[in-house]
Structure 1
Amino acid sequence: MKDYSIERPRYPAHDFQRQFQMRRELFETILNAVVNHDHYFARKINVIGRQSLSPHQKLTSAFQMLANGCSANSTDKYCRLVQSTAIENLKCLCKAIEAIYGATYLCKPNLEDLKRLLRKADKRGFHGIIGSLDCMHWECKNCHTA
């Protein structure tokens, strides 16, 4: 929280964007949408009266894994989450994102979209590829299946 999410954070906004591959405002928008959608992300008080993990901790660990490709147990040092909780956060976040934004952003491409994607892929040397990028027929000197 002190690093990025308080009124006078320790690090500037461009560091947040470099760390999470998004602006802080977008992170906060997603955070609010996810907290309002799924009570899993809301901060709760446990049986012995202690506060649970904050929504910021939960989303930060999930976004670190998504944006940087880091493992679940590597989020323990920064977010103070164990591996199993980090994985659970990521799964819950993905389900919430799909439920919230799926209808808008996860729609099937129409004919115009398909033509545009095929042209773009063709320019990059991926002729006729839509969907799975299964390129097992390519010979690659460092590929263990080559």
Structure 2
Amino acid sequence: MSSSSSDEVDEMLNEDFEEMFDQQVDNFIDSIVDVQANKPKRRAYIERDREQGHNQLWNDYFSEHPTYPREMFRRHFRMNKPLFLRIVDRLSNEVPYFEQRRNAHGRYGLSALQKYEYLRRPTREDLQRLLDVGEVHGFPGMIGSIDCMHWEWKNCPTAWRG
């Protein structure tokens, strides 16, 4: 009885252990699959109707018969319209950011008029917010951006050039 019964007990324990082990592995795999299945696959697309925004801006201020008079343009943009258009023209010809480009879907991005409309001199609140953000990130007193020219940074894009 000792030899055969101990072999039977060992075999039963091994089977129970293997069953418990298989169950634990299955549960672990299922939990990983469930977590990955719940991850969002894509960002939600938000239609911003950039073309309509450009057309509205053009009709409001730059068309032959604009919605708003010259005085409103001057008050809103703080310069006269010919100067504004000269600046927009020069920026769109000389600064790549201001060129209107197509995105990956072939749709046009913001026009130079739309991009330039947001440029303005920062207010005191803007400057203080920028200083606070810089200080939180370890750059007290910094308002501008870092271009990797004045300090060593191993992940700086200019270091990747080879």
TM range (shorter): 0.3 to 0.5
- TM normalised by structure 1 equals 0.43
Larger Rg computed on CA atoms = 2
